[in-house]
Structure 1
Amino acid sequence: MTLFLQLFKKIFRHTRRNNLVRVLLLALMLNLAFGVAFFYAERDVQQGLTLVDAIWWAMVTMTTVGYGDIYAQTWVGRFLISYPCMIIGIGILGYLVGAIAETMLDYGSRKRKGLLRVKMKNHLIICNFPGEQKVARVIEELRRSRQFAQSPIVLISARIRELPARLVEMEVRFVQGDPVREEVLQKAAVRQARGVFILAENPADPASDTLSFAIATQVHLVEKELKKDIRMVVELVSQENRAMMHRSGADGIVSADGIMDALIAQEFLFPGLNKVFHEVLSNARGSQFYIVPNELGAGSFGLLQKKAIDSPQRVSLVGVRHKGEIILNPKADFGVDENDDLVIMAPDPAEYQLLAGS
């Protein structure tokens, strides 16, 4: 018995941080203890009683099931073993239910507060939290894309302490911390990520570009270390910082600086143009712009454009990416190489695949 108590104290001490494990170990050890005690108290009275039967009786009694196939027949078995087994069993059962509930609540709370390590692959990471509405719009736009409709999304931010309810409903995972720190990026499983979006912490403050540059540089270092392509898009606040941001290794740099001013003027000059921009920039409806590999073959721009027009697919060829430079609406005799990319407008990239295969 002394050996049993010493073993119990040792296990109990090493599992004090986990209530659920503690209670399960306690229940198991008490089940064995009551089973052994019942066996020695009843074996002379009940012929054929085995130790396994006694342990079974202890489990049935502790869980208040009470099948009645085995029961105590001696005074010791009834009052010194069965009584404590039933009373303690009820307490253990209640405590076990409470421990399970506490563990589940604690896990949910830690998950909402971004304290858990993410275990994902091929997910998308959004760094910084400029506001719930903006983050939600970015996620909604990604989810409208057939390619990323089911991709898990992780938000990293030190600005908030708990994930907003709207983002919880969108099944976004959260990691609390500064995304410029490597250990925080590792916590979000950046090594297994498919892409990283770096939003400006404060879209009204050009100083936010410095933070975005630092985050992008960290991600780029991980990318170089793994020799893996992690696509990275950075939001730029000020065009004056574009040269600096290019040095971060970002694949794409997006800035609204100056665009709104031009769009206001264009809307005044050509009423309705604002709606055109909204449609081509969103996956919500209509057609969008896509940059796709040239699968139509080499030839003049006019020839390739005619091929798209004559096709039943809803694809319009509007430009070319030639040697890294975007050229919209080039001349009809502009030569397009097989290594160039095409700028198209279509309701879905699948339309272009049908065109290329025809």
Structure 2
Amino acid sequence: MLQYFAESRWYTILGATGFYAISSYWLLYAANEQALVNQVDFIYWLAVTASTVGYGDLSPQTSAGKLIVALYVIPLGLSIFAMVIGRIAAWVSEQWKRGLMGMTDLQLNNHILVIGWNEQRTLLLLDLLLQEREAMTVRPDIVLCVKADISNPLPGIIEFVKVDSFNKDEDMDRACVSTAQTILVDNPQDDVTMTTALYCSKRNPNAHQVAYFNDDSLVALLQDHCPKVECTPSVAVEMLAKAAFDPGSSALHHDLLSVDEGQAQFSVKVPLDSPDISVAKLFLNLKKRHDAIFIGYAPKGHVKEMVVNPPLEATLHPSDTLFYIAKRRINDINWQSLNAD
């Protein structure tokens, strides 16, 4: 019976409710229940009776009216009420299940889109993104888009979309790929990462896109076609070699990349209304006022032209991207003070 209620169509419920209300009205009218057949009072009384609330301020007075209510109005009203509740519960459950399984169509803007599933590595990535987002003044939505047969790993925390292909418009539109602010592509297969990055660059050329490759040789190939894509090849071997000659290097780099504890590396764009700032003043004032260390900058945000440990005579201009090390992200920089003597 409950399954029947849950599977009932809305037009069936509306039809049954209409028939129930009209038939109840005419039966009470025929029983000469004048107090109950007043239009406003009847609607109020029928609603509280069918929903089992029953305030008791209105009730049938005639013997026929009492029999009609006892044998028809109350039993049928309870059935219809159960049908409505069952249908609503089924609809809510279906929507929750669709969201959990990634079958919904999202309507988002300026979100972070993570494409690909690498099990524990993806979970770690999502955890780090959530921690980074907590320190931001504007907190974008995070969307995980996968082809793997999984459910939402973080329900209620991130959005989730499951697709058949990472390069079909009808699938990727559900993840709002064209309106994403940041796109992170990390798949177990580098060829899938390559084709996905090419597709995303075409659909959303203005997004900040980052792609991870296991094979370094594919980095140059992708950047030949999509120079704006930031590629992050695996640096495990380089880290191993550095740690061999400089013990502690791996721990240092891990600390700079992780926001869990200790110091981490951040970036900020120099606003357009900021004055030109010399590296000498910037280095000193950033440490003095924010306890942060300036490590480099990217002219006009061009990361391929990044200057690490620039000379003190160098100058930063508006629209340059500044990189620094601090305990947490700095959101309230007074740029005029960084240029002070």
Does the pair score TM above 0.5? yes
Question: Residues of 2 paired with 1:322 and 1:261: CA distance?
Answer: 29
The equivalences for 1:83-122 within 5 A come to 83-122=71-110
1:140 aligns with 2:127: yes
SS of residue in 2 equivalent to 1:162: coil
| CA RMSD across the alignment | 3.1
Q: Which residue of 2 aligns with 1:353?
A: 333
> How far apart are 1:347 and its partner, in Å?
2.6
Does the Cα contact within 8 Å between 1:292 and 1:342 map onto a contact in 2?
A: yes
Cα–Cα, structure 1 residues 344 and 26, in superposed 2: closer, same or farther, change >3 Å?
Answer: same
TM-score by length of 1: 0.78
1:253 aligns with: 231
Contact 2:243-2:250 within 8 A present in 1 as well: yes
Is the alpha carbon distance of 1:23 and 1:306 closer, same or farther for their aligned partners in structure 2, counting shifts above 3 Å? same
The 8 Å contact of residues 289 and 343 in structure 1, kept in 2 or not, is answered as yes
Structure 1 residue 180: Cα displacement: 1.9
Measure the CA separation in 1 of the matches of 2:330 and 2:36: 74
Q: Which residue of 2 aligns with 1:262?
A: 238
Aligned mate of 2:283, from 294, 302, 305: 305
Deviation at 1:163, TM superposition (A): 2.2
Summarize the Cα distance change of 1:357–1:79 in structure 2 as closer, same or farther, 3 Å threshold.
Answer: same
Contact 2:143 2:160 in 1 (8 A): yes
Does the CA contact (< 8 Å) of 1:123 and 1:151 recur in 2? yes
Q: Alignment partner for residue 257 of structure 2, among 255, 263, 281?
A: 281
- Code of the aligned partner of 1:33: I
User: 1:129 Cα deviation (Å)?
Assistant: 0.7
SS where residue 325 of structure 2 aligns?
A: strand
Contact 1:216 / 1:250 at 8 angstroms: preserved in 2? Answer: no
Q: Larger RCO: Structure 1 or Structure 2 (Cα < 8 Å, ≥ 6 residues apart)?
A: 2
Deviation string 1:97-134 (CA, Å, 9 cap, x unpaired) is 32222222222211111111113333211111111x21
Quick one: which of 162, 170, 193 aligns to 2:151? 162
* Local SS of the residue matching 2:118: coil
Cα deviations by residue, 1:201-234 (Å, 9 ceiling, x for unpaired)? 21xxxxx23322222222222225xxxx322111
Equivalent pair of 1:233/1:250 in contact (CA under 8 Å): no
Match in the other structure for 2:192: 211
Classify the secondary structure of the residue corresponding to 1:350.
Answer: coil
Within 2, Cα distance between the matches of 1:236 and 1:104?
A: 40
CA distance in 1, matches of 2:95, 2:36: 47
Name 1:172's counterpart in structure 2. 158
Task: Give the count of matched residue pairs.
Answer: 322
> Offset at 1:32?
2.2
How many percent of aligned residue pairs carry the same amino acid? Answer: 18
User: Which residue, 229, 234, 246 being the options, matches 2:211?
Assistant: 234
Number of the residue aligned with 1:10: none
Aligned twin of 1:11: none
Change in 2 beyond 3 A, CA 1:124/1:88: same
Q: Deviations 1:282-305 (Å, cap 9, x if unpaired)?
A: 122222233434556254x44543
SS of alignment partner, residue 59 of structure 2:
coil
Maintained 8 Å contact 1:124/1:194: yes
CA deviations on 1:290-339 (whole Å, 9 max, x unpaired) are 3434556254x445434545x34312222233474122223444x33525
1:243 corresponds in structure 2 to: 220
Instruction: Give the counterpart letter for 1:134 in structure 2.
Output: R
Letter in 2 for 1:173: E
The aligned residue for residue 23 of structure 2 is 34
Corresponding residue number in structure 2 for 1:315:
292
**What TM-score does the superposition give when structure 2 sets the normalisation length?**
0.81
Which residue of 168, 177, 193 corresponds with 2:180? Answer: 193
Q: 1:250 to 1:148 in 2, by over 3 A?
A: farther
Within a 5 Å distance, the mapping from 1:42-61 to structure 2 comes to 42-43=31-32, 46=34, 49-61=37-49
